[in-house]
A and B are shown apart, each in its own frame.
Chain A
Amino acid sequence: MAEALNAMKKNKILLLVSSIGVFVLLAAAAIDENFLKQWRRIQASGSHDGEPIPVQLRQVVNMGLRTADRCVSCHVSMGPGEDGVTGNALFKKHPPVVHDPAQYGCTVCHGGQGLATEKDDAHGTVHFWPEPMIPAAVAEAGCGTCHAAPGVPSRDTLRQARATFERLDCGACHRVDGRGGTIRPDGGGMEGPDLSRVGITGYDAGWHGKHVAKAAAADKGPWKTSFAPVPEADQGAVAMYLAVRNSAPRLTEAKSVFLSYGCLGCHRLSGVGGDEGPDLTRAGERDPGQTDFTHVPEQQGLDNWIAEHFRSPGAVMTGSKMPAVAAPESDIQQLTMFVLSLRRRELPGAYMPKDRIAVARMGQREFAPDGATIYGAFCAGCHGLNGLGRTSGDETFPAIANPEFQKLVTDRFLTETIARGRPGRRMPGWKKEGGLRPEEIRVVVEHLRALAGVTGRTEEDAWKANGSTAEGRKLYAAACAGCHGDKGQGAKGPSLGTRAFLEVATEGYLRDTITKGRPGTVMPAFGEPSTVHRTLTPGDVESIVTFINLWKGK
């Protein structure tokens, strides 16, 4: 049986070699799994009260949020009941925050892949995980997963409010966002309560009266030395400042910048805003795996993508009609942080914070109710933060805060124009679902008046044009039709032939605008001698106004 035995010998060798191979590979896999895992080595370096900690997978489970975060397998001391573990830089304690990480878990705020137990996977920088960790520098963006932070003022308003708060030296006794506050000489804690979260927890609205009473009753100590009655105007600023103390000061700051660039003129946030651009309510949840990084210099990181998108929207996102945001780099970073924070996850009822409910269901605004903030949030994108208009590409957005214009128009004209928009122009009507409330439009008008520094007309100009229609038609065709269209349909200039416009524009307003022009726009003053356009006499103007008013009946 030589050949048969020989064949069997070959089979035995095959069996021997394969078996040894399987054994070796299994042993390698076993060693890798049981000894070489990253988290094992990290935990092996840890000790608690001098005792080595048990090396095992650890996790924070939150049944309500349906998360199981294994981050604490490496960041051990952040786990439940594990504080005091030392021996590795990773065992740093979590800075004190409102939400206990041992209860809420990690990923709900920080993003990343909680189920993972290896660094790259856990930090979400791997290819197939849609939610990488929020960069530590903008960690507060994570608050946006659940919170909406309503009532934030625009940047200048916020700055003024903070300046007021600092000028009044409230920080002498009160601690805010880790700054200020004096320790009592007897070691009994702060002189005043910490105000870092009063925007959420609320505070005694009658604080000022009580402060005054206590200061009056005191004969020494800080009540005597550090408090003086606060003027009424400053009390409003302090209230505005305290309303947004939500222990996320940097996110609030970023949101105030967002509310100063007029983004809501085109985008909706929590259902409020314009309709030209996409809804931003969950814009921070973009999946990097589904995002084109070709035109982003750093080529990675959602923050880089968003920042570059602000710098040149069309290049980063093909077909984007958004104009580039002309802003200093620091503002771009703030805007980026805010957009990153727009995560707004669906939450189980018990975890839905009050502010989210207020914003999503009870109509509370994300922005502060003052005119400057609403103007900054809705109008500044086109009309400029100072109201002096803007040119973008071949589009010109009119200046509306120049005194010449403001002096001409009545409050009704402004209110109606904001509410109904300008048909045929980019200006949308803000009296719409997801638009502005009458009260909000009113404060915007007030803000415009304040910007211009004029009170404007309160009474409507009763002047009635009574010129020649035929003459007016001729003059209109010669002087006006080039910009406003031969039928008043508008071209380079706005349309004049719409009822919406003519119902609010009085004849006196038309006369004055034609005669004096619109500074900040291409509309010239036809009443003044010029070499580039025809000069119109008051009679000519009256004829034109008469002619234009014919369209009212249409």
Chain B
Amino acid sequence: MRLDPEPLPRRDWLGLASLWSAASALAFGFIGAMRLPKAAVVAAPSKALKLTLPESLPAGEAFVPPGRAMAVFRDGEGVYAISTICTHLGCVVKPNAEGFECPCHGSRFDHAGGVVKGPAPRALPWLQVRLANGEVHIDEGKTVPSGTKAKQA
């Protein structure tokens, strides 16, 4: 009595070819499908903004444009903007008397955005500022070396 009487032909080329082609078709489809969740466009407004600084803004005092994570300063050397997004994990830091402090994990930054304390790995980036017709043009997407201040042309 045989209980294992019908072994497959040893080389089932057709079976293997069909299985592999099915597997590759499905894998190809899977790879294609996995491209879907990565959005091709991000629905975010332009990172550039225009604003007018209040005349009365004291030198070195932060001006925070509504809805933007940045602090704009004016002093004798010019106008500059510092991003207020913590370089640690992205909380918004608050300007205070010593510079900036992060409410999430206690990072502290000095007036120029340099790290003083806490887990933040890098200084707060300075943003590109241009002055034109009395307006301040800031581009959140472009950073400049710390200390770059824009002067009226």
Touch A–B, Cβ below 8 Å = yes
**Residues of A370-405 contacting chain B, CB below 8 A:** none
Q: From A16, A56, A62, give the contact of B45 (CB < 8 A).
A: A62
The docked-state distance in angstroms from the alpha carbon of A17 to that of B87 is 54
CB atoms of A12 and B25 under 8 A apart: no
CB atoms of B48 and A81 under 8 A apart: yes
CB distance from A29 to the nearest CB of B (A): 8
Measuring CB to CB, which residues of chain B are less than 8 angstroms from any residue of chain A? 6, 14-15, 17-19, 21-22, 24-25, 28-29, 32, 40-41, 43-48, 139, 141
8 CB contacts below 8 A, A to B, read A9-B14, A13-B14, A15-B19, A20-B21, A58-B41, A61-B46, A62-B45, A68-B41
| B46 surroundings in chain A (CB, below 8 A) | 60-61, 80, 102-103
| B15 surroundings in chain A (CB, below 8 A) | 12
The 10 closest A-B pairs by CB, nearest first: A19-B21, A16-B18, A15-B18, A19-B22, A22-B25, A23-B25, A19-B25, A12-B18, A80-B46, A57-B40
CB atoms of B21 and A23 under 8 A apart: yes
| A102 surroundings in chain B (CB, below 8 A) | 46
The docked-state distance in angstroms from the alpha carbon of A70 to that of B44 is 13
CB distance from B81 to the nearest CB of A (A): 17
B27's closest neighbor in chain A, by CB?
A: A23
What is the number of residues of chain A that contact chain B, defined by CB distance less than 8 Å?
29
| B40 surroundings in chain A (CB, below 8 A) | 56-57
A1-40 interface code vs B (CB 8 A; 1 in, 0 out): 1000000010011011011101100110110000000000
| A58 surroundings in chain B (CB, below 8 A) | 41
**Given contacts A26-B28, A27-B28, A56-B40, A61 and B14 within 8 Å (CB-CB):** no
**Residues of A46-76 contacting chain B, CB below 8 A:** 56-63, 68, 70
CB distance from B83 to the nearest CB of A (A): 18
CB atoms of A26 and B25 under 8 A apart: yes
Q: From A1, A19, A57, A59, give the contact of B24 (CB < 8 A).
A: A19
| A103 surroundings in chain B (CB, below 8 A) | 46, 48
The docked-state distance in angstroms from the alpha carbon of A102 to that of B141 is 15
| A18 surroundings in chain B (CB, below 8 A) | 22
The docked-state distance in angstroms from the alpha carbon of A532 to that of B58 is 93
| B18 surroundings in chain A (CB, below 8 A) | 12-13, 15-16, 19
The docked-state distance in angstroms from the alpha carbon of A125 to that of B32 is 31
CB atoms of A70 and B41 under 8 A apart: yes
The docked-state distance in angstroms from the alpha carbon of A18 to that of B6 is 28
| B47 surroundings in chain A (CB, below 8 A) | 80
The docked-state distance in angstroms from the alpha carbon of A103 to that of B24 is 46
The docked-state distance in angstroms from the alpha carbon of A62 to that of B46 is 8
| A12 surroundings in chain B (CB, below 8 A) | 14-15, 18
**Given contacts A1-B6, A20-B21, A57-B41, A30 and B14 within 8 Å (CB-CB):** no
CB atoms of A26 and B45 under 8 A apart: no
The docked-state distance in angstroms from the alpha carbon of A70 to that of B41 is 9
| A23 surroundings in chain B (CB, below 8 A) | 21, 24-25, 28
CB atoms of B45 and A61 under 8 A apart: yes
Given pairs A19-B18, A29-B32, A56-B40, 15 additional interface contacts (CB within 8 A): A9-B14, A13-B14, A13-B18, A15-B21, A18-B22, A19-B22, A19-B24, A20-B25, A23-B21, A26-B28, A30-B28, A59-B41, A70-B41, A81-B48, A81-B141
